[in-house]
């Protein structure tokens, strides 16, 4: 397989991220990261750090990767449709508050928050570029059918909201740069790169702060385990089977599987609390799947390395 994973480096990266998560938990327990601070950090991450991380990947991109970028976009779109269908079929008998959380948790993972730094650490700048493109359909689904799990979506506003989202804008700007490359001032690219490098520690601190809100002994129940297994095991297995049958390149296949193996999105809790979903269940599902993902992601990395 191309871009072989250095397992020692992967495990070191996992250990580093785990330490950052623990620090985030400690700071939240000490009320250094308050609820207001967490909201500010979340806004900074979504509106600045992740877009800069994506732009940095495009600035380093090989222009010969355009075909792979189109391919990964189509793979991502197919995966989103699969997840949507499963979310409609699997949770018909759940009560409405829990059903909305389980549907959303099936369709939307933490790929943008946790996936980008993970893929960059495993597959470098090329992997990060493909991950950034992969996430475009993910974010489109997030603002449409994902949001519709909790509230009726205004179709006119959702198009405007999606196209003006900083993460989508960064991809569009990055694509324009790839088609029409122009020399950029060093201070500008270094600014983007500096903010990009801050993404991993800040996102890990935020995940730790979320974990600190929940008593760990309360997170294990039938529903949270079911959603975690679906998110961390069943969906990646289906995607691995699909990319193998589709014959996509090993790097695209690996990035796709690793991103789909990410835990339930932290936004699940935010939307459930805001729109009347089961907030407590959402928080427990996010916490359990995030903890388990620290162990399942290296496993999937090993699997894709040996199969693809």
Q: For residue 2, is it within any domain?
A: no
pLDDT tens-place string over residues 183-223: 889 999 999 999 988 887 887 888 788 778 778 788 899 99
Residue 255 — pLDDT band, cuts 50, 70, 90? very high
Q: For residue 1, is it within any domain?
A: no
Q: For residue 255, is it within any domain?
A: yes
The rounded distance, in Å, linking the Cα atoms of 135 and 137 is 6
Q: Which two tokens stand for residue 93?
A: 């008998």
Q: For residue 148, is it within any domain?
A: yes
Instruction: Report DSSP letters for 1-14, one per residue.
Output: --S---HHHHHHHH
Measure Cα distances from 27 to 33, 37, 208, 215, 224 in Å: 6, 11, 9, 16, 26
pLDDT tens-place string over residues 60-97: 766 667 788 889 989 999 999 999 999 999 988 888 88
Residue 1 — pLDDT band, cuts 50, 70, 90? very low
Checking if the pLDDT of 98 tops 90, the result is no
The rounded distance, in Å, linking the Cα atoms of 26 and 304 is 34
**pTM (2 decimals)?**
0.79
Burial class (CB in 10 A: 0-12, 13-18, 19+), 192: buried
- Give the CATH number, domain containing residue 24: 1.20.1530.20
CA 124, chain centre distance (Å): 17
pLDDT tens-place string over residues 102-151: 999 999 888 877 787 888 888 887 888 898 889 888 877 776 787 778 77
Residue 38 — pLDDT band, cuts 50, 70, 90? confident
The residue range of the domain holding 266 is 7-307
Total domains in the fold of the chain: 1
Average pLDDT value for residue range 8-23:
81
pLDDT at 61: 65
Q: For residue 34, is it within any domain?
A: yes
Q: For residue 262, is it within any domain?
A: yes
């Amino acid at each position: 397989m191309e871009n072989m994973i250095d397992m020692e480096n992967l495990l070191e990266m996992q250990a580093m991220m785990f330490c950052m998560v623990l620090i985030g938990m400690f700071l939240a327990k000490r009320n250094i990261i308050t609820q207001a601070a967490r909201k500010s950090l979340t806004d900074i991450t979504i509106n600045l750090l992740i877009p800069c991380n994506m732009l940095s990947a495009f600035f380093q991109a090989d222009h010969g990767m355009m075909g792979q970028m189109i391919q990964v976009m189509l793979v991502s779109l197919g995966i989103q449709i699969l997840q949507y269908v499963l979310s409609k079929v699997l949770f018909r008998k759940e009560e409405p508050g829990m059903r909305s959380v389980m549907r959303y948790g099936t369709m939307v993972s933490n790929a943008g928050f946790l996936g980008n730094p993970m893929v960059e650490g495993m597959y470098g700048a090329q992997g990060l570029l493909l991950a950034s493109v992969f996430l475009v359909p993910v974010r489109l689904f997030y603002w449409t059918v994902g949001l519709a799990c909790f509230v009726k979506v205004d179709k006119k506003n959702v198009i405007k909201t999606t196209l003006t989202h900083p993460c989508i804008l960064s991809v569009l700007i990055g694509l324009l740069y790839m088609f029409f490359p122009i020399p950029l001032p060093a201070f500008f690219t270094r600014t983007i790169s500096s903010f990009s490098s801050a993404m991993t520690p800040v996102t890990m601190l935020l995940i730790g702060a979320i974990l600190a809100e929940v008593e760990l002994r309360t997170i294990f129940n039938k529903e949270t385990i079911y959603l975690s297994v679906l998110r961390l095991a069943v969906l990646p297995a289906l995607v691995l089977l699909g990319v193998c049958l589709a014959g996509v390149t090993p790097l695209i296949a690996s990035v796709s599987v690793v991103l789909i193996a990410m835990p339930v999105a932290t936004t699940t809790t935010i939307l459930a609390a805001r729109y009347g979903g089961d907030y407590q269940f959402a928080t427990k599902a996010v916490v359990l799947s995030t903890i388990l993902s620290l162990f399942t992601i290296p496993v999937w990395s090993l699997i894709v390395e040996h199969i693809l």
